[in-house]
Structure 1
Amino acid sequence: MDHGSALPFEIIIFLAAAVVAPPLFNRLGLGAIVGYLVAGIFIGPSGLAIFKDAEGTLRIAELGVVLLLFLIGLELELSRLLDMRRDIVGLGVAQLLVTTGGLSLAAYLTGFSPGAALAVGFALSLSSTAVATRILDERGHLTRAYGQRTFSVLLAQDLAIVPAFALIPALATGENFADPSSIIIKVAAALFMLSAIVVAGRFLIDPILRFIARNGGHEVMIAAALLLVFGAAIGSEAVGLSMALGAFLAGLLLAESSYRHELEINVAPFRSLLLALFFMGVGMSLNIHVVAGAWPYLGISLVVLIAIKMAVAGAVVRMAGSSNPDALRVASLLAPASEFAFVLIPLVVATRLIHSDVGQLVVALGVLSMIVGPPLIAGVERLARSLPRPDQHAGIDHATDLDGTGRTALVIGFGRFGQMAAQFLLTEGIETTLIDRDSDGIRTAARFGFKVYYGDGTRVDVLRAAGAAEARVILVCIENPNLSLKVVDLVKQHFPLAKVLVRSFDRAHSLALMEKNIEFEIRETFESSMKFGHATLRALGFPEDRVAAVEIDVRRRDIARLELQRAQGVDAGADLLHQTELQSEPLLEAEHEAIALNSEAAQAIEELAKKAG
């Protein structure tokens, strides 16, 4: 590398690989993750050796997994996590114990010592959070029943890593047995850190973000989001927890925050780049020479590994009530080895339970399972779709949306107008997301029971994070006409399936909106003016039918003027602005001469005849 260069050569190579590999492997039907893994092999020590420190690269790239878990936490809510506790404790523990037992037995039969077999079996029984959640996120199935069960198992595995770091040394011989008191201290430290994250998330973070939103800028919010995530992650790691678990908990606690969507869009770009680096780092860690020298052993081991993990996961989930297609989906998602295996296996080697060369083979096995995982998952998904759908009346709902939101409406701008418009949606129980960028207004709305999220509706990433892609209707209630038109353009371009209803500021704004093919627009003062004029004439003693006729005429002339202005410009239709007297016209021409039924009628007919003559 040329140290005099302002931009390191490795960064250029990484970005080039991140751009070329995903679309190429997506085109081949293998998926972007396999593309990143193969790109890592190509530019890593076993390939062109542009990146020589695979371990250091992985260490940095783990931050991508951290950000991924934080965003998943933001998508959940604490109440929903409590609803998942049975799956976490039941499915997660059962899958982990049975899979560890099966893999440990297989390792023991191939010549591993009992302690080494148990350690290696546990490390390989863990599943890749990065692969599974990335694929679920791309499918949009994180909130489906099988997606939630997959995530429950992954969360249970993350929790199991804490005692694993303490107990693996106890499997070694001699002086490496763990001191029970040290285990108690580590557990106590972990509980303390989790409590600190909970307290900070509940009582400190929201006021701090409110202060930043009011006094800082967009750049400060980005820095605050990253500081929040990495602070929770590093704090968790310091007490023996995984960084991903700390970040997930932080996201979970902020899932109900008004700043949830703002945090999500600020973190997402960094997550994508760091996840790309993570998968490349996994590819870099694969030693091609080791694989080439032991490919028959690794090939058989890979088949055994995936078969045991899929059989156990599928059976456990099926026994819990999932349908056959969903059991297959969960089994395939849990097949690839976990990123934490690359941390646990070096620990097993360090305790001398296995030789370093054997450790290289186990790491290679884990990497290979990650490489074959995405194509396997895609194939199983096609198979699952071809199977008969479960009977909904049998209590098995394979596509239930457990998100709890089912977002069907999005209201942008929650001032006085937006508040009143949203009342109709909320009264009918329609799931509605409300966003505004006034932090003080959001706080005020919370006092009246409204859940309003902080976000700038003129940014497409904010709209997407707020659920615009799933919304059936989008209400644009922004006061500023220019910003309103910008939002409408973004919505029509990126979310064309949503029906758009817009609050108009004045006639010029209405005319501009009429050109954008929206479903509905209304000037904010028009209807109130109509009601006000109606009440004024009634107060002057005019009968109701006469006042109603006047209102109909005013509305008709207003619509006619708008059409003229739309065709000829804003100055057109001035003659329609007012009229001295409403001229009533019959709907049909009279077919016979009028016949007077009394003297007053006769006098009226005579006067009409004089006017006509």
Structure 2
Amino acid sequence: GLSMALGAFLAGLLLAETEFSLQVESDIAPYRGLLLGLFFMTVGMSIDPKLFLSNFPAVSLILGLLIIGKTLLVTFIGRVFGVSTIAAVRVGLLLAPGGEFAFVAFGEAVNQGLLSPQLSSLLFLVVGLSMAMTPYLAAGGQFLASKFEQHDVRSLLPVESETDDLQGHIIILGFGRVGQIIAQLLSERLIPFVALDVRSDRVAVGRALDLPVYFGDAGSREVLHKVGAERACAAAITLDTPGANYRAVWALSKYFPNVKTFVRAHDVDHGVNLEKAGASAVVPETLEPSLQLAAAVLAQVSSAIILF
């Protein structure tokens, strides 16, 4: 009973939560550019200049409230989840324009009698103008980042010439607490490695210690190629989120099947999914602390029984 647009949207949401999401995304990639161009042509044709001129004060007010309100809201949410202020503002500016699904929602609302055609046309105009402002909002976020960020991310990206001499090395995907411990152990044993992370502060910490740590997406085929994944012998995946771990395992299994992947899982179910994606070995992060705590408790109980 749903419209074609709403049905396709919900189907996409459902597929995005399955193990087939990356393959589906790669299959539809050739059509995405064509359909995006057609969509934005349709959006441009829906903008009525006469309506804009006749309702300029109302359109300007609604557009300003939309941009400012969404920027502040997304910035606040980003700060709540621990994102830096500058990064949160940049994300807020990028997400401030209206989304393309607004056109589907407004059209459905008109069909159901919830919105009048005149109000719908006005909202169409506001959303279309906000989308047209996206490049300028992105440029504004980039300007703020260049003025206030401490590190230039471009200087932290991997360069292929820097990893040409690596052979049989280890790739550490995720340079958090676990990744740093692995890097320390490999360094002490003079085992060559290279690390990737998407947080510039972690990369800067590694660079300060003169370690081969680079900024990059662990699930990107191009980034993995730049760190010599085709010549690596193994990869230790210690990313923060289950989705990022799964995506990295999938990319390595698909594009660099010679690399053995050892990955940290958040729980047993996540570990099963990682094994299905192609992981060579999975270590649930709750297993080792549980075993260590149980061993400590048993040791204490044993010593108490002996003393008793």
TM-score, normalised by the number of residues in structure 2: 0.50
Work out which of the two has the higher radius of gyration on C-alpha atoms and give 1 or 2: 1
| Higher relative strand content | 2
Q: Which has the higher contact order (CA 8 A, sep 6+)?
A: 1
